[in-house]
Structure 1
Amino acid sequence: MTAPLADRRLRVLHVEDSELDHQLILAQLRRAGLAMDIQRVDTLNEVRQALTMEWDAIISDYNLPGFSGLVVLDMVKDARLMMPFILVSGEIGEDTAVAAMRTGASDYLLKNNLTRLAPALLHAIEANESEQARMEADRELLRSKQRLHELAGHLQTSVEMERAAIAREIHDDVGGSLTALKFDLAWMARHAQDEGVRGRVQSALETVSHAIEASQRIMHNLRPAILEQGLVAAVQWMGARFEKRTGISTSISTSSEQIQLPPGVPLVAYRTAQEALTNVSKHANASKVTIELSVASGVLTLEVSDNGGGLTPGALAKARSFGIRGLHERAATVGGWVDLSSSTRGTSLILSVPLEAQRAEQLGQEEASAIEHDPSSWGSA
């Protein structure tokens, strides 16, 4: 914990050409009970060298041989140093003083009235240290947000890779076994003599067929192999299935039948559309959905709109509205963002991804390697 200023030994740089004035200021500060190490400099070279050291504050005369205190203040700013700067002068106009304060000076005093020097110095140091603490807290908050963002991106990628692994197991093990079982049942149905046996076998064949369809549906949901045909084909297939399943009229428009996209982007767009359609079927009470997919000026845009009742006020601010938050985090993994607007005439969700802004260096090594393995494609992982 930092000691109170009154108990600390302060390091002060004094820019002053007059030894007498230097002694007067030193005496005034000691009279106030302040313990300090104070160094006097009176040339720009000495100022420049002194600024390489650490100081609690700078006290500067305004009129110096060949330069002014404002020049010293500019040097402090150019060196990107955050330290209190108090301007002291025997003659300084109000306009000059105001300009100095606007430029970054902490305070200004006249040499014929130094009684306020010690309180002004302490106040300036305290304000400077509080500002530095606030800025460090802001930086730490930003770092924390960045770490959370990276974690969320990692989790999104990990989930997709886990889904891909499960889909492969269903395809290779469950799907293969069910298909083999269906062939065996079909053989039994052809060779069974008893009508009762044939009836039971036929019933088993129907059950296995339903199981195969269910496994295929689960595989598509876990890992959309349709993306191998391109994002346009995948969105068209998704829209057709959505319309067939829900009865909600779904229209799809695209700027091109084939859109070339960087790895990772097709899956993000697909999952965004999937989540949007899921929300429409659950909450929108809509009769029509429009999906627009386009690339213009190097930006992929996916918009899913409905004519439902819209979102209730505060729905997005709910503590557990993880679906929308997940969309934001998923979009961020490829440098994109999600905009959501809603009214009584419906809801519109827009995903935007700048395709030329895909920068692998902004991703952690783990995320970068995960994107190299695009979970939207089939193949060995």
Structure 2
Amino acid sequence: MRVRKSWCGVLVVFLFIQLVWMPVQDAAASAGPPGLSAEGAALIDVASGRILYSKNGSKKMRIASLTKTMTAIVAIENGQLKDQVTVPPEAVGVEGSSIYLKKNEKLSLEELLYGLMLRSGNDAAVTVATHVGGSVPGFVYMMNEKAALIGMTHTNFNNPHGLDDSNMHYSTAEDMAKLSAYALRNPTFRQIVSTKVKDISWEGEEYDRRLLNKNKMLHLYNGADGVKTGYTKLAKRCLAASATRDGRQLATITLNASDDWNDSAKMLDWGFQHFSTKQLVSLGQSIQPESFVKVEEGTHLVTTNAFTYPLQADEEDDVQKRVVMSESVITDKMNGQLIGFLQFHLKDQMIGQVPLKVQVDTPTWVHQQMAVAPTFWQQFWNLVAGGLFRA
């Protein structure tokens, strides 16, 4: 009897533990996509730049040919796509992936960028770098300068192609996600990386080069539209992928991932499922300032643009709005002036802000004129009203 009671007690305790831990396990399961093979990974919302998921996201790692994302965007922003570029001797025969450029061959910069991003041509990378930067070291300087501007704080580029030449060439999953998001906002870059097949010139040959994009995600994943594959013996398999659904674009980074295609698909699925874009304020919306700010009658604070942000279902109530003002008294003489910001905070972190301007209720033309010369216009309207009455 005592044994039976003991077992019943153990069973009750066991069931209680199960009931307590079930919600915790469910919550943990929804914390991110499970079972990723990647050593480093990140998922980003392209429009807002919010990192939605990260695994070892700040760990410095080799990035192989994902480097060429930076090479391409620096070239697009600093070069002319129609420029005719001459292939320099140092670009011919560069090891690894190639589009088989010949010494002194001429192609447009745009054609070279397709060779760079679709076929990962290392010879194209050196040619682009020499043309845009004057030399490979000059172009690498431009790459690192752009990385700093984007906010890639744990990144250093040492070449334009990503070959394993030293320990001075590295980045992180989160930094590369920031780079992908930045580059994908450029329409030229977006067009190039979403192209599956492209023909470019081949000087001295009877036919053109046909470039087939190495990025299998363009065929494997619904809505896929970028970005870049990568591999070296030391970096292993790397992938930057992106997809757009219902107007929302997400991008992923996987570093040292044996199952990179599935890793990327899992992260994209998870991101589209668990996050939705919420409009937190609309254009021209009237905003109430702090109570200590004196606002003249007929005068309002309005937003100069809308603000949207990707949020999980349980996060919207956690967003806090704060009005920051440069003035404590608002008058109609400030009409149209920018005098503050509406800031948005999520978990004590500012996620964005919208400028606020002064807007005055627009009076009629007569009221405007009467405000300038009230005595004259009052007499005028008295005469008009009197004449109409007599008539």
When the two structures are superposed, what TM-score results if normalisation uses the length of structure 2? Answer: 0.25
Q: Which has the higher contact order (CA 8 A, sep 6+)?
A: 2
Q: Give the structure with the higher percent strand.
A: 2
Q: More helix per residue: 1 or 2? A: 1
User: Structure 1 length as normaliser, TM-score?
Assistant: 0.26
